[in-house]
A and B are shown apart, each in its own frame.
Chain A
């Protein structure tokens, strides 16, 4: 009888963790159900029509304080516009509703609005919720366009079509229409992979305090095989989570993978990252309670900054710059590129390479730290 080869040991150890994972069926079910539930919820919240023809209409209130025909005409034009969803209210009604952001903006056509026809300076008052600056600007644009068009008609007697028009084109890929479910399934899956890695790390932390670890350490098994086995099992289950979550996303919400090769490589790198992060938790976490608290803080932080919850463009510029140093940012970019953006393999490979480099760095650090811990323990120093 001779000790088994290194790879054989790794697969045996990974097989044990695989069986331990499935031994609690309910916990295993939740491992797959939780990212799906989170992704579905986030996708639903941020779902917007992706069809260019079905543009989003801005909810808008109109307050008419001038009883002249020009104010009436402008109000009619606003009501007919396909860029806003206008409702006529009194000023007090508008103010009350704006407090609830239903809608967030109101255009007030004030007394003396009729004087505009005589080209005399007049102001449209824009009432808005303090947090609705973006909507305010859109409302100002709509008002300006419609009033000027109505004014031209009133002064020159005919509708005037401006010689300028805009043509919108999404940059980033041939089919780059934002799909909220693609984004949320990518983000929530990545976040959950990190949580799964943390759980696996905490399991290792616990295992190291218990009897089975002592038995493992008296068997002819090098520490490297123990860590590789743990990482392999964690990564394999993470891959399964990715596959299951995106399969659900595809069939339930139309999440589409446009580069299978890129997606597969990135999923592999992200799974390796989860496994390496888990080992890092076990290596530097100290006690289980401390490791759990710090890991949750770190995971939520890198998830938010990496754009896993909300698209990164919503973050301030300085935060977006910082987030480039995070693996989650690159993993998210890669998944976005492989799904709704439909970018080429080269773009995805760049992200994959960076994520894999982070995984390797975490793995090296964890292995070094754990080998020091084990060595200290053997020498009676820990």
Chain B
């Protein structure tokens, strides 16, 4: 197993006398997406802020690529790309100026900076928007610019705080496509979300926080309540957003017991067996739905967090 790119060990963070995070230990490896899930006030954002070096832990350690944040803050920061929930860019400057500015803070300059700026923008699909002012962008584009600024120094670890909170369905789909690509590029990704469904579809592992404590952490299959008879699942990204009547027409073609959910460009198919799932997928494709990508996790996370299955330490 690959060594952890980000390691939170027995993290305790307090606000005044209250511990907002209490003994959380999580590891994120390169090429892995870990979702921090939990209700409001569960300590997700505080955990992420401590992981980014914004908060000093009362106890415990944060390390990136083996470098302790407390021992070498500057060296640690070089491995971290942080994407705050709100747009953390200067609205008066252009997207490229913002990205280049943050690149300079990481020691980039000259041709290398220009090359990396172009690359960061193209990685989030903003190659043609570099000259636009951030303030003039839509919410979805701002979030992508926000992500580009975190990618400029090609950090090993990406920390994203509620990245989809202000996005519409289409922008959310696009974001998860970007996230898949970033995972494939070898980034270790830790992000927070309220939506179990998002974590279920996008994460390799999920950490469930409740009142500052880690109550579950593991691969979705570890956290599953296995439904009776088992379920075969497929998550996919469609090339374009389908019309509602086309989705309704598709549902009539599917066998009974096959469940189809389409949100924006995201698609979820659930069937009683792998054979039924295969037939359902064939029906989807036959109806002209083009899949950009898909994955078939062994099972899916129940809507409610499961009781503690594993606790990483």
Contacts and interface: CB of A to CB of B under 8 A. Distances in A.
Contacts of B149: 215
B148 to A, nearest CB: 12
A1 interface: yes
Given A1-B106, A211-B88, A12 B78 contact: no
Interface string B48-66: 0000111110100000000
Contacts of A381: 15-16
B73 A380 contact: no
Interface residues of A, number: 30
B5 to A, nearest CB: 16
Nearest to A222: B74
A12 B107 CA distance: 10
B13 interface: yes
Contact of A380 (B20, B80, B104, B105): B20
Contacts of A19: 93, 97
A218 B92 contact: no
Nearest to B56: A378
**Which 6 pairs of residues, A with B, have the shortest CB-CB distance?**
A211-B88, A220-B74, A23-B92, A220-B77, A215-B88, A380-B15
B73 A220 contact: yes
A92 interface: no
Nearest to A219: B105
A70 to B, nearest CB: 78
28 contacts: A1-B78, A1-B153, A3-B78, A4-B104, A4-B109, A8-B104, A12-B101, A13-B105, A15-B101, A19-B97, A23-B92, A24-B92, A210-B88, A211-B84, A211-B88, A211-B89, A214-B84, A215-B150, A218-B53, A219-B102, A219-B106, A220-B77, A220-B105, A220-B106, A221-B105, A379-B56, A380-B15, A380-B56
A378 B90 CA distance: 23
Given A19-B97, A24-B92, A220-B73, A3 B107 contact: yes
A16 interface: yes
Contact of A23 (B82, B93, B108): B93
Contacts of B53: 217-218
Contacts of A215: 82, 84, 88-89, 102, 149-150
Given A20-B92, A380-B20, A218 B13 contact: no
A247 to B, nearest CB: 27
A218 to B, nearest CB: 4
B14 interface: yes
A215 B151 CA distance: 12
Chain B interface size range:
35 or more
Nearest to A215: B88
Contacts of A23: 92-93
B262 interface: no
A210 B86 contact: yes
Contacts, number: 98
B87 interface: yes
B189 to A, nearest CB: 15
Given A3-B106, A220-B78, A214 B54 contact: yes
Interface of B: 13-16, 20, 52-56, 58, 73-75, 77-78, 80, 82, 84-90, 92-93, 97, 101-102, 104-109, 146, 149-150, 153
A24 B93 CA distance: 10
B82 to A, nearest CB: 4
A9 B14 CA distance: 31
A210 to B, nearest CB: 7
Contacts of A24: 92
Given A210-B86, A212-B88, A215-B102, A378 B54 contact: yes
Contacts of B84: 211, 214-215
Nearest to A212: B88
B239 to A, nearest CB: 32
Contacts of B58: 380
A216 interface: yes
Contacts of B88: 210-212, 214-215
Interface in A289-343: none
A3 B87 contact: no
A220 B56 CA distance: 15
B89 A216 contact: no
B13 to A, nearest CB: 6
